[in-house]
Structure 1
């Protein structure tokens, strides 16, 4: 077990570059240590992107396969030139539009970037986060920081400081305690090495948003494998089971009335079997289900109902998803049932995460 130093910046104000806590965290990074820190997407686990020993510490802390590429985080555009072979004009336009923010771009890499960062690929993924703490930490360390999500490999990504402490206390050198992640889903990953941008992982920056800037955009065929279509992933990182709680996850799609009735039946089944289930559903569904179950207090004792916000505001669903998947384990739930969302806009990213968590287990009603 490591001695993990806690750097609490939650109540600090003013210039983040002057915060002693962040200076202490940056000192650890400069010494090739591992430091978890907040970003606007999820919490990241960072280390010096140019040192193989530091990178190996990330994989060890997470229990992450070493062929899984990491995203390199920068705080200034000029840092990009030292890491990538060239910056296509289309990539520059996307950076102008969406950086700093939840967008990762893949470029051909320079030799200075270790193979351990890229999983042996000749490309490197780069992101400039918008979170004030993340940007200041990178500036203070004066290093590009490789950082996957700050969770144990395969588990739901952490969106709060408490999630990070739960997973990584004693496994990393430092944890920066900040505010909760705003977006709640990892960044959109876009391959810029071909003729047009190709989305390898959906996120808050949608295909339509990219196409409006770039003129064209595609989503990689490997993502269709989550819907039962066969395809070969283009990059190690596009593994199948991710984001999963200990409980078995099932996603329900189709007719809303039928889905609510299926949830009601599942609650009765849980009560009969004397186990707990978690249900993630929209505010509108929750109101209906509560009316249906008003006289069934025994059944409700076996169900934990998580409000994912209105179906009209999918950004709320995104911000709460990982939090509620983790909470299902805290409540000791055996199963997690989720009302799926239309794959439009950020809904595509939500369903991408859900289908991986459920290992493709979908019930269409």
Structure 2
């Protein structure tokens, strides 16, 4: 399926497809989403089939405004309203207790539902014209690199999607922050562009932080997108290397005649016929925007291995380190 420019006519066509239970890929500020009518269980099942996604993995429902929260949530706590007022439209998803009529297909069988108002004009226009919620995980095969350009969706899903709306490259580049507000204390389930500090400053309370680096194995725990230990991964084997080990690893792999791809932001190793280097930005926001597209570029080159230089381990880089940690193994 070739992407089409997301003008008014394309959005109108997308709405008709969604109403028919079809799949539409569309841009958000984070990544491209694979959308279906969230009130249509059969349509939502098509998302799982297209992605190869397990049925117990919940989806985030995208809505047009805070006014729609009550259509999906059993109750909306003050904390949700505070965060929505501060960060919506934007890259923040809230987990709330769902209304009984919300399909368990969307929620992965849980009693909670993830909701967010995306901060991309195409996504917002689509939601307003559609008039309902759109369930939309990232528009890629399950556990693979998320798409940040329309062409990535085409390469990844082909004709499994009925329409791809092209709204340009995603500005944030990593998935939304997910905060669970369904219990007595807020939980950070997935870090993102909106940081733990940002959220705690609004709520005036400390959050619990759920670690998922070792995987989510307890079925009693809250499940949310991106909580698996392996996710966002290229097909090519990828290793995460400390800066000081990169030269040694490159030299060793070159000696073994291995074709090597490198994502590095501080080193400038010499390129040769066995090495492909992508120099990454040194600022966290710019790095996040470039990350998935750069990984995809290297993954397309039929390399033997990809080396990723370890980013700084500071709060500004937390979401990036989360995604890279799940896409790579230790060097």
Q: TM-score, normalised by structure 2?
A: 0.94
Task: Select the residue among 12, 15, 19 that pairs with 1:30.
Answer: 19
The structural deviation recorded for 1:117 is 0.4
Tell whether 2:64 aligns with 1:67.
Answer: no
Deviations 1:195-229 (CA, angstroms, capped at 9, x unpaired): 33211000001000001000123243333537xx9
SS of match in other structure, 1:45: strand
Greater C-alpha radius of gyration = 1
Structure 2: how far apart are the matches of 1:37 and 1:242?
21
- Aligned residue number for residue 201 of structure 2: 212
Deviations 1:298-336 (CA, angstroms, capped at 9, x unpaired): xx22111111112xx111111111111111111112211
Structure 2, unmatched stretches of 5+, are none
The structural deviation recorded for 1:266 is 2.6
Deviations 1:14-70 (CA, angstroms, capped at 9, x unpaired): xxxxx1111001110111110000000000000000111000000011111111100
**Aligned CA-pair RMSD:** 1.9
- Aligned residue number for residue 278 of structure 2: 306
Task: Select the residue among 298, 304, 322 that pairs with 1:328.
Answer: 298
- Aligned residue number for residue 222 of structure 2: 234
Alignment of 1:205-354 (within 5 A): 205-223=194-212, 225=214, 234-235=222-223, 237=225, 238-253=227-242, 256=243, 258=244, 262-282=245-265, 284-286=266-268, 289=269, 293=270, 300-310=272-282, 313-354=283-324
Q: How many residues align?
A: 329
Structure 1: how far apart are the matches of 2:296 and 2:148?
10
SS of match in other structure, 1:55: helix
Change (3 A) 1:31 1:217: farther
Change (3 A) 1:346 1:71: farther
- Aligned residue number for residue 15 of structure 1: none
The structural deviation recorded for 1:102 is 0.1
- Aligned residue number for residue 7 of structure 1: 4
Structure 2: how far apart are the matches of 1:22 and 1:41?
19
Q: TM-score, normalised by structure 1?
A: 0.86
Structure 2: how far apart are the matches of 1:180 and 1:103?
19
Assess if the C-alpha contact under 8 Å between 2:187 and 2:210 holds in 1.
Answer: no
Assess if the C-alpha contact under 8 Å between 2:212 and 2:228 holds in 1.
Answer: no
Structure 1, unmatched stretches of 5+, are 13-18
Assess if the C-alpha contact under 8 Å between 2:3 and 2:151 holds in 1.
Answer: no
Deviations 1:109-148 (CA, angstroms, capped at 9, x unpaired): 0022100000000000001001000000111111200000
Assess if the C-alpha contact under 8 Å between 2:188 and 2:207 holds in 1.
Answer: yes
